Each structure stands twice: as C-alpha cells, then as structure tokens.
Structure 1
Amino acid sequence: MTQESLENDVDGLVRARIRGLRVAQGWTLDSLARRCHLSPSTLSRIETGHRRVALDQLVPIAR
C-alpha cells in the first residue's frame, strides 16, 4: 500500500465518520456549521471529498 492510497483511505474514513455522526444526531449541514464555526459549504466539500479536512477544522468538528 502506498502512502497516497493510505492517505486516501484515512480521508475517506474521516469524511464518512463526520457525515455519519452528523446524520445520526439529526443535524443538518447548517446546524453542524454553526456548532463548529465553519461554513455549510466547507462542511459539504469536506464530506464529499472536494476538500481535505485540515487539523484546525477537525478539532471543532469533533467537539
């Protein structure tokens, strides 16, 4: 397994986990965005893989 494929696997797992937990809580992108001080479009791009999640974004999302 290459470093790139490992990174893609981790990214996909993180994206799926963020979306899965958000949906399980019954939260919309807007409600999670308000809670973690990010824009709904940023969260959408993270969840769909159009943007990589940065560590400084991951901490507020996780909280």
Structure 2
Amino acid sequence: MATRVGVDVGGTFTDLIFYDDTTGEVWPAKVSTTSADPVEGVASAIAEAIPPRAMSEAAFFI
C-alpha cells in the first residue's frame, strides 16, 4: 500500500491532499497559512484532513 501527502503553502492558504492508492480515498484540507511559522499551517492541515493511522502509513510526503 502506498499513501501520499502533498502540501502547497501559499500566502493565504495551505492546501493539503492525502491519497491512498490502494483504496482510492482522497482527503483534502484547506487551512489559513501561518506566515510566522508555515509548519504550523501544515500541521493544522494534517490534523484536519488525515486520520493518525493513515498519516503513519504515508510513503511519500511532497
């Protein structure tokens, strides 16, 4: 099983998509970008969109 996480940190929003190529499940998220600490926005998107079990199985983080 391969799962993939893609993140785009923009000036206003941080977009994230999680894809499981075994089940075909797609989980998207859009959160406000945290300009002072972009990692905070990425962590927020992960927490919003992806169940912890699925994130621990991610094979690619782009």
Q: TM-score, normalised by structure 1?
A: 0.28
Q: TM-score, normalised by structure 2?
A: 0.29
Structure whose residues are more often helix by fraction: 1
| Greater length-normalized contact order (CA 8 Å, ≥ 6 residues apart) | 2
Structure whose residues are more often strand by fraction: 2
